[in-house]
Amino acid sequence: MKKLKPVILLIINSVSLAAILIMNTLANVLPLNGQTTGEISDNLNVLFTPAGYVFSIWSVIYALLTVWVVRSWIVSGRSPDKTGVTAIKYAFAVNAVLNASWIVLFHYEFFLLTFAVMTGLLVNLIVIYRRIQYSGEADTFTLLPFSIYLGWISVAFILNIGVVFNSFNFEQGLFLAAETWTAAALLAGVLLAVLLSFLMQDAVYPLVFVWAYIGIFAERSATEPMLAFIASAGAIVIAAGAISQLLKQKRFLQKKTG
């Protein structure tokens, strides 16, 4: 029975990924509730929302997750722990349920519930990431899709807060102007990216924030110059932190192999 367990987990992960891909496709092809994800986002007008092209990162995430699943099957006979399958256990299946639930709730405009699900998704990815990291046998290629996935959900978590705000007709702000709240969110994002990059010793995670912040700069430069400036400055700071982390990892590897 123990020998079958990795295979069972591989099947569960494969089905989970397929479910995520199908749900995401149908949500915009049908579309669910007669509106695409982009159309809903445009109607909410959250200032933290980056330019549309930034959301293409989902294609990168799903492509990398597909590679991860395929690679897991390939190496399963020799070393199932190398791709973190046994370490993650059923967490990726939970991720699929949360991912699909968020899409349905968002399309049917249950925005407060989407925040609860997004919180669960963020916690779930942290659990997956840490389980892989502490498994001992998993390699860098196993962490890569989850570094990017976690980075994007971290950005989406902040964005989701703005979605909830605007869904309650606080588009112009609550106590403070919307621009002020967005500026605070941008600064919080910089702190989060740099701090978690340091704690996780991950140079890839913060690069997702750089990608998002460049997109926010592109989206807001013509209408909100202050936010565009903060986004661009934030991208530079985060990129510097990522480079610093990369150099630190390089020195560590040199000492380890030297």
Cα–Cα nearest to 69, from 18, 109, 112, 103: 18
pLDDT per residue over 36-63, tens digit each?
999 999 999 999 999 999 999 999 999 9
Give the per-residue pLDDT at 120. Answer: 99
Residue 1 has pLDDT above 60, yes or no: no
Q: How confident is the model at residue 189 (pLDDT cuts 50, 70, 90)?
A: very high
Helix (H, G, I), strand (E, B) or coil at 31: coil
Residue 147 has pLDDT above 80, yes or no: yes
Give the per-residue pLDDT at 6. Answer: 87
Give the per-residue pLDDT at 49. Answer: 97
pTM: 0.94
In sequence order, what are the residues at sequence separation of 6 or more whose Cβ sits closer than 8 angstroms to the Cβ of residue 163? 44, 46, 111, 114, 115
Percentage with pLDDT > 70 across the chain: 94
Give the per-residue pLDDT at 2. Answer: 47
Which whole number is the average pLDDT over 17-23?
98
Tokens 């995430």 label which residue? 61
Range of 120's domain?
A: 5-257
Report DSSP letters for 208-247, one per residue.
HHHHHHHHHHHHHTTT-HHHHHHHHHHHHHHHHHHHHHHH
Which whole number is the average pLDDT over 182-211?
97
pLDDT per residue over 152-162, tens digit each?
999 999 999 99
138 and 83 in contact (C-beta within 8 Å)? yes
pLDDT per residue over 92-129, tens digit each?
999 999 999 999 999 999 999 999 999 999 999 999 99
Gap between the Cα atoms of 81 and 79, Å rounded: 5
Residue 250 has pLDDT above 90, yes or no: no
Distances (CA, A) of 207 to 13, 22, 140, 183: 26, 27, 16, 20
Domain count for the chain? 1
Residue 130 has pLDDT above 80, yes or no: yes
Mean pLDDT, the chain, whole residue set: 92
pLDDT per residue over 214-239, tens digit each?
999 999 999 999 999 999 999 999 99
Q: How confident is the model at residue 257 (pLDDT cuts 50, 70, 90)?
A: low
Q: How confident is the model at residue 3 (pLDDT cuts 50, 70, 90)?
A: very low
181 and 173 in contact (C-beta within 8 Å)? yes
Give the per-residue pLDDT at 136. Answer: 78
Tokens 């405009």 label which residue? 109
- Running DSSP on this structure, what letter comes out for residue 150? H
The half-sphere exposure of 199 on its side-chain side, counting CA atoms within 13 A, is 9
Q: Element (H or E) spanning 38, and its range? A: helix 37-44
Helix (H, G, I), strand (E, B) or coil at 175: coil
Token duo for residue 44: 């909410």
